[in-house]
Amino acid sequence: MNGELNIEQMKQIEEMKRKLMNNILTKEAFERLGRVRSANPQLAGQAELYLLQIYQAGKIQGKITDEKLKDVLRVLSEKKEFRIKRK
């Protein structure tokens, strides 16, 4: 029974997150985020978390365009790249 509640809560959270993303992203940016989610769920999750954080901090003026979303995705994907140098 408890597991069902958690699944239902997760569905509600995902729906709330989707609605909020729809409100702060332009149509093109929202569609891009959906495509990124299909190809790289981890990157999409990081982008959503970042966007929600700056939204809650009141740092979003107007809607996030596709170009701005591309910049966010580029920065987030660059952070993951690292090199191990051996001596």
What are 56-81's pLDDT values in tens digits? 999 988 899 999 999 999 999 886 55
Distance (Å) of CA 9 to CA 6, 23, 32, 41, 72: 5, 21, 26, 20, 28
What is the residue-averaged pLDDT of the chain? 88
Lowest mean pLDDT among 14-28, 34-48, 67-81: 67-81
Two tokens, residue 13: 């959270």
Q: What are the extents of the domains in the chain?
A: 18-75
The matching CATH number, chosen from 3.30.1490.20, 3.90.110.10, 3.40.50.300, 1.10.8.140, for 18-75 is 1.10.8.140
Two tokens, residue 61: 């003026």
Give the whole-angstrom CA distance, residue 19 versus residue 69. Answer: 17
Q: 57 CB contacts (<8 Å, ≥6 apart)?
A: none
